[in-house]
Structure 1
Amino acid sequence: MRSLSDTLARLNAMKTSADRAARQTQPSRLAPFPPAGRNEGRLNAKIYVPAGIAAGSALIVALHGCTQDADAFDVGSGWSQLADEQSFVVLYPEQQRANNANLCFNWFNAADTTRGAGEAASIHALIEATIARHNVNRSRIFITGLSAGGAMAASMLACYPDVFAGGAIIAGLAHGVAQSVPEAFDRMRGHGLPSEAQLQALISARSTHQGQWPSVSIWHGDADRTVAVANAGALVAQWRGPHRVPETPTRIERGDRHIRRSWDGANGSVAIEEIVIAGMGHGLPLRGGDAVGRIGPFMLDAGISSTREIARSWGLTKASASRTVVAKSPATSAPIASSPAMPRDAEPVAPAGSAQRPTPSASSPLASSVTNTIESALRAAGLMR
């Protein structure tokens, strides 16, 4: 086992070097943001602050996926580019390999997804430091994440609903659905998801929040073979609880490749929206040719820019031309169920030090080759099918 661990460590180091080489032609737009005070979850961070930004601006907290880092996620998602256009701050909490060998946020670990503890506490502390250093508006703080980052964003919304005005979960999972690596495997495949009542109890058990809950935007591809699209339905079911909205959506909108269902809250604004994109696999939806974001592995041309659309839903941009609304359905229409697609190659995540199956890199063909080598080593050891 030591030999396997040493081999995986060397391969991961090779992959990190490949990732860095792939980004050499794309200088970092981000500045280091050292955590201040206690750092319960031992996270790093980077930040983007546009030149000449005014006090009281909005803050976006962006959580990368497995094998990514802050710079890779920024290049792909384009949040700093949109920040230049619309003048807001972007904070990128960043996982360390000492916490998780594949740089996944530990979304399946209760010690990291509880208010005041672990990685959740570190992300909250980074937000507080950003507020203090850059005078952002406390009422305009939003969080988003991809895959493991999306699952961690869901937990941050559940544990700190008083902090966020809204959140967006891309190819992620509901808060609290897994408490171990085996459970993480199952939930990613769409197996063993809790009932609606259980999903809602996972939030109510963690929070006594009595104020307005953050709006939630849920994005998923119906051909996702890493995190089954059934998880999008679980997120909708979970967040219908605190928002007290019925099963039937307020409206259904159809685009060229996507269906958007939305539920209005008590104040008449959208409380929950779910966007399911036909034929899209595991990744973040972008629109090819857009100046925001970059198409690549796990940054997918889906004909719609999730970055722009999410920012628009938070009131941070003007109406986007990338959004196509064909028709609205009355609230009495039957909801469109998420596709029950099942992943063939679900990627497990685990804390550092445990044998695990790495998530493919989202940066370069060379890094992807290294990932394939890692997977081959795990298969040879009988740790992966």
Structure 2
Amino acid sequence: MCTYVPENLEPSRPLVVALHGCKQQAEDYDNETGWIKFAERNQFALLLPQQQKANNMSKCFNWFELNDIERDKGEALSIRQMIKKMASDTDIDPEKVYITGLSAGGGMATVMLAVYPDMFAGGAIIAGIPYKCATNVGEALNECGVSIVPGQLAPMKDLSPDAWGNLVRNASSHNGPYPRISIWQGTSDTTVNPADQQELVDQWTNVLGVDQTPDIEDTINGHEHKLYKNDNGEPLIETILISGMGHGTPIDPGGGDDQCGEAASYILDVGTCSSYYIIKFWGLDFQ
């Protein structure tokens, strides 16, 4: 459990949970992705869980292991306990907890949004996988669009929106609103199939009760951006498809308000700071 809390952070401020990808660690996912910069500027606490090699030799969060992806079990429970401790230690606002992650971290962020929807106000999934696409290693390697060998992507299962949605609805007894979600993907990703983004859209539009047709289609720095709104005109899902990007978190190093990050393995300088736009979508830039 790694944390960053801005000096003299006032009570009842938001908490952002950021989950690293495979072959990374928590300290690779703070400054490099811009989260510390925005924690300071927007005044929120930051929690970065660290996967252990004893759980996964590649330090991937186990988004595909049944005992880790159900409510109050395994890694999902561990992350929940970290959030509870963070709330106790820093007096954060429990109504303003957000979670994001890359790759396996994105898959585990999806898990947390599904099994603990009551805990989160929003999420962001970067090169991630729909909830319960797999419940064991074999399914994960053969049915969820991930790379078995470099450059060779497995097929991505194509379920109906209702079938995807049922997997989330059956994950808890929650009957209230679900968190809003930002979904990012690169078109040239050879580790996670870009088709996963559409399956995530199918799953979460169904859960959130909006249709699969975007209400707004525009661009962010030239990259495809779509918004899906409810009947009240509130954007509940957004997707950003980064043209030409491989597998990693998009950043844009520099000192501008909308810039962030330091290029590294799986942290890709594509001229777009994903953390900045995620914060905007969540509404943390106005709080």
TM range (shorter): over 0.9
Query: 1:163 aligns to what?
Result: 119
Q: Following superposition of structure 1 onto structure 2, how do residues 228-243 of structure 1 map, counting pairs within 5 Å?
A: 228-243=193-208
- State whether structure 2 residue 224 is matched by structure 1 residue 259: yes
1:293 match: secondary structure: coil
Q: Once the 2 structures are TM-superposed, how far is the Cα of residue 288 of structure 1 from its aligned partner? A: 3.3
Deviates more, 1:157-166 or 1:252-261: 252-261
Separation in 1, partners of 2:246, 2:159? 25
- State whether structure 2 residue 55 is matched by structure 1 residue 121: no
Q: TM-score, normalised by structure 1?
A: 0.69
Query: 1:283 aligns to what?
Result: 248
> CA RMSD for the aligned pairs?
1.5
Residues 50-86 of structure 1: per-residue CA shift (max 9 Å, x gap): 0011000000001000111111111321211211111
Residues 28-67 of structure 1: per-residue CA shift (max 9 Å, x gap): xxxxxxxxxxxxxxxxx11000001100000000100011
Measured at CA, do residues 164 and 267 of structure 1 come closer, stay the same or move farther in structure 2, by a change above 3 Å?
A: farther
Residues 252-292 of structure 1: per-residue CA shift (max 9 Å, x gap): 01244311111112442211111001101100011132463
Do the aligned partners of 2:254 and 2:261 also contact (CA within 8 Å) in 1?
no
Aligned residues: 275
Q: Once the 2 structures are TM-superposed, how far is the Cα of residue 316 of structure 1 from its aligned partner? A: 1.4
Query: 1:310 aligns to what?
Result: 278
Query: 1:329 aligns to what?
Result: none
Gaps of 5+ in 2: 147-152
Deviates more, 1:210-219 or 1:66-75: 66-75
Do the aligned partners of 2:156 and 2:195 also contact (CA within 8 Å) in 1?
no
Q: Once the 2 structures are TM-superposed, how far is the Cα of residue 293 of structure 1 from its aligned partner? A: 1.4
Measured at CA, do residues 192 and 220 of structure 1 come closer, stay the same or move farther in structure 2, by a change above 3 Å?
A: closer
Separation in 2, partners of 1:53, 1:192? 43
Query: 1:50 aligns to what?
Result: 6
Separation in 1, partners of 2:278, 2:220? 16
Separation in 1, partners of 2:156, 2:97? 33
2:227 match: secondary structure: strand
Query: 2:150 aligns to what?
Result: none
Do the aligned partners of 1:257 and 1:302 also contact (CA within 8 Å) in 2?
no
Residues 293-352 of structure 1: per-residue CA shift (max 9 Å, x gap): 11122111122110111011111125xxxxxxxxxxxxxxxxxxxxxxxxxxxxxxxxxx
1:252 match: secondary structure: strand
Gaps of 5+ in 1: 1-44, 319-385
1:134 to 62, 65, 90: 90
Q: TM-score, normalised by structure 2?
A: 0.92
Residues 88-123 of structure 1: per-residue CA shift (max 9 Å, x gap): 000011111111111110000011010100000010
Measured at CA, do residues 138 and 267 of structure 1 come closer, stay the same or move farther in structure 2, by a change above 3 Å?
A: farther
The residue identity in structure 2 corresponding to 1:177 is: C
2:118 match: secondary structure: coil
Do the aligned partners of 1:144 and 1:167 also contact (CA within 8 Å) in 2?
yes
1:71 match: secondary structure: helix
Query: 1:298 aligns to what?
Result: 266
2:235 to 263, 266, 270: 270
Pick the structure with greater CA Rg: 1
Q: Once the 2 structures are TM-superposed, how far is the Cα of residue 176 of structure 1 from its aligned partner? A: 0.4
| Structure with more strand by fraction | 2
> What percent of counterpart residues are identical?
40
1:138 match: secondary structure: coil
2:50 to 86, 94, 105: 94
- State whether structure 2 residue 175 is matched by structure 1 residue 175: no
- State whether structure 2 residue 186 is matched by structure 1 residue 221: yes
Q: Once the 2 structures are TM-superposed, how far is the Cα of residue 190 of structure 1 from its aligned partner? A: 5.3
Q: Once the 2 structures are TM-superposed, how far is the Cα of residue 222 of structure 1 from its aligned partner? A: 0.6
Separation in 2, partners of 1:190, 1:136? 41
The residue identity in structure 1 corresponding to 2:94 is: R
The residue identity in structure 2 corresponding to 1:214 is: P
The residue identity in structure 1 corresponding to 2:73 is: A
1:193 to 157, 171, 174: 157
Q: Once the 2 structures are TM-superposed, how far is the Cα of residue 133 of structure 1 from its aligned partner? A: 1.0
Q: Once the 2 structures are TM-superposed, how far is the Cα of residue 149 of structure 1 from its aligned partner? A: 0.2
Measured at CA, do residues 192 and 316 of structure 1 come closer, stay the same or move farther in structure 2, by a change above 3 Å?
A: closer
Separation in 2, partners of 1:273, 1:207? 24
The residue identity in structure 2 corresponding to 1:211 is: G
Q: Once the 2 structures are TM-superposed, how far is the Cα of residue 206 of structure 1 from its aligned partner? A: 1.1
The residue identity in structure 1 corresponding to 2:267 is: M
